[in-house]
């Protein structure tokens, strides 16, 4: 899957609403960015933790999709996130790296940074299913 293909998958859904853009694919990672605008902030003017979780799950789910291809379906089954630093403006970059890529379960580490600061550390477990289900 190409960056253009991944970004096309995000059209007309949550990824587009939050302006999440995939920017780099590597052998063992996927990177996306998200601008910190009013629509991803909580009432106190900080980046909403839920927006971090959407970014993390979207990124790692798409990374799993890149691994398994079109013949399978991937769904997130468990996510956790530690919000480590407040962000008020700018953009954040998220990198998903595999911890385990099994036949039916993938586990991803997702680190979200603003510049050199770690903003959120998340882990997602993805179930790989046959498309026939």
For the annotated catalytic residues, the residue numbers are 57
CB count, 10 Å around CB of 8?
A: 12
CA distances (Å), origin 93, targets 13, 32, 72, 102: 20, 6, 27, 26
Please list the alpha-helical segments (H only) found in 24-107.
49-68
Produce one character per residue of 56-72: b if its CB has 16 or more CB atoms within 10 Å, e if not.
bbbbbbbbbbbbbeeeb
**Cβ–Cβ under 8 Å, residues 60 and 54:** no
Which among 124, 44, 122 has a CA at the least distance from the CA of 83? 122
């Amino acid at each position: 899957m190409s960056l253009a293909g991944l970004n096309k998958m995000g059209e007309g859904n949550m990824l587009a609403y939050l302006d999440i853009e995939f920017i780099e694919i590597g052998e063992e990672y996927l990177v996306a960015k998200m601008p910190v605008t009013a629509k991803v902030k909580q009432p106190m003017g900080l980046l909403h933790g839920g927006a971090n979780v959407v970014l993390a799950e979207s990124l790692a789910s798409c990374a799993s999709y890149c691994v398994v291809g079109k013949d399978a379906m991937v769904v997130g089954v468990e996510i956790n996130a530690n919000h480590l630093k407040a962000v008020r403006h700018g953009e954040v970059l998220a990198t998903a790296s595999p911890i385990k890529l099994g036949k039916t379960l993938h586990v991803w580490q997702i680190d979200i940074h603003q510049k050199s600061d770690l903003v959120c550390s998340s882990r997602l477990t993805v179930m790989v299913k046959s498309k026939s289900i």
